[in-house]
């Protein structure tokens, strides 16, 4: 199961990178506004990586923030794109929220169940 979660996480990250850096006409729209679309995308990426790499969430959070910054900076060279500090802040926070949600889900589903006394 872990290999499928990891493949999904990397494919989702690639899709978000393409949507961020690719031609604007290929970018999906969820009608949530710019910040809402960014937040949704990066929450999903954070959640996917958090579920795929359960033992490395702190490291993943650091890498996610760094890669979010790299993607924003790369927009300076992408035609029709523009880098914004606010987009970086929303994306980085959303990725961390997704990672926190994955940790919460992990605790809920892996918490030892109380034993029924007989």
Task: Parse the chain into domains and list their residue ranges.
Answer: 2-25+33-109
Of the candidates 39, 38, 62, the residue with the CA atom closest to the CA atom of residue 49 = 62
| pLDDT for residue 51 | 93
Of the candidates 59, 49, 47, 91, the residue with the CA atom closest to the CA atom of residue 72 = 91
Give helix 2-21 / helix 57-74 axis angle, nearest 10°.
Answer: 20
What gap in Å lies between CA 94 and CA 71, rounded to an integer? 15
What gap in Å lies between CA 26 and CA 102, rounded to an integer? 29
| pLDDT for residue 108 | 87
Contact 65, 96 (CB under 8 A): yes
Contact 99, 50 (CB under 8 A): yes
| pLDDT for residue 20 | 86
| pLDDT for residue 16 | 93
3-state SS, residue 59: helix
Of the candidates 88, 37, 44, 85, the residue with the CA atom closest to the CA atom of residue 67 = 88
Place of tokens 């929303």: 90
pTM equals 0.84
| pLDDT for residue 100 | 96
| pLDDT for residue 67 | 94
What six digits make up the tokens of 44?
């999903």
Residues of the chain with pLDDT under 70: 111-118
| pLDDT for residue 107 | 87
| pLDDT for residue 81 | 79
């Amino acid at each position: 199961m872990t290999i499928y979660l990891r493949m999904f996480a990397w494919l989702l990250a690639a899709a978000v990178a393409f949507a961020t850096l690719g031609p604007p006409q290929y970018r999906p729209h969820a009608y949530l506004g710019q910040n809402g679309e960014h937040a949704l995308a990066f929450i999903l990426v954070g959640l996917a990586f958090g579920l795929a790499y359960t033992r490395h969430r702190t490291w993943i959070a650091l890498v996610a923030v760094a890669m979010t910054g790299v993607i924003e900076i790369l927009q300076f060279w992408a035609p029709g794109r523009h880098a914004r500090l606010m987009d970086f802040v929303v994306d980085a926070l959303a990725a961390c929220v997704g990672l926190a949600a994955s940790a919460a889900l992990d605790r809920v589903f892996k918490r030892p169940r109380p034993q029924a006394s007989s």
